[in-house]
Amino acid sequence: MRFYGTEIDSRLMLGTAQYPSPRVLADAFRRSGAGIATVSVRREAGGERAGSAFWDIVSDLGVAVLPNTAGCHSVREAVTTAQMARELFDTNWIKLEVIGHADTLQPDPFGLVEAARYLTEDGFKVFPYTTEDVVLAGRLLDAGCEVLMPWGAPIGTGLGLTNIYGMRTLRAQFPDVPMVVDAGLGLPSQAAMAMEMGYDAVLLNTAVARAGDPAAMAEGFARAVEAGRLAFEADPMEPRDMAAPSTPVIGKAFLT
């Protein structure tokens, strides 16, 4: 799996928020084998660098860091936050969030495309948090994005893949674009389903951090992601409307 030319060993990505302690955070990453950690720029306080202790914890995880613009509701705010992230984390990778709806945290499609275009022109490698909308996906690719991060469901809900048709359509429409299912997954089975559909990776936070045993849940998701990917690569059978016997009837004795 490659993002902007960088090879990542694991198809599981984890967020770093909401864990009950730094030890639990580290254990979750260790047992999951996650290859990327997403980090909110708001955790790295400016001025006296009050967030430096948190940054030290993340650095010790030994994984690639993907800063995000979580909580930004305008293009200007997102762009400024991304520029701060580049200075703080010494990377041009950015997970771009421009929130348009306070209750669902659904992205603002117009602001997202505008911010993506600006940041791409400024040298950023943009990972846009988007919906499963095919038209929006095309606009983001036109703006210079080489990766898409469609939601499965609203952030933190654990509802899973709420629009199976839309997710399948998006994957089929852009088969060669790396895609990460980001947000809304609550169970390993939901992650496996996303991988079986051909998605390249999943990004989790709440489902792991808020579990009774975050490290065990992280490992469960890791195994599900691996199983789902193997199933996709195995070219699974098509579903049927009628039963088909697994044991051949040729040569069977018939009583008269």
Which structure tokens are listed for 144? Answer: 């210079």
Looking at the annotation, which residues are catalytic?
A: 95
138 is in an annotated binding site: no
104 is in an annotated binding site: no
100 is in an annotated binding site: no
251 is in an annotated binding site: no
User: What span, in angstroms and rounded, lies between the C-alpha atoms of 220 and 230?
Assistant: 16
Question: Based on the number of CB atoms within 10 Å of its own CB, is 96 exposed (0-12), middle (13-18) or buried (19 or more)?
Answer: buried
CA trace torsion 160, 166, 167, 170 (10° rounding): -160
CA 23 to chain centre: 23
For the residues of 20-81, what is the DSSP string, one character each? S-HHHHHHHHHHHT-SEEEEEGGGS-STTTTTHHHHHHHHHT-SEEEEE-TT--SHHHHHHH
183 is in an annotated binding site: yes
Q: Which residues are annotated as a binding site for 1-deoxy-D-xylulose 5-phosphate?
A: 156, 183-184, 205-206
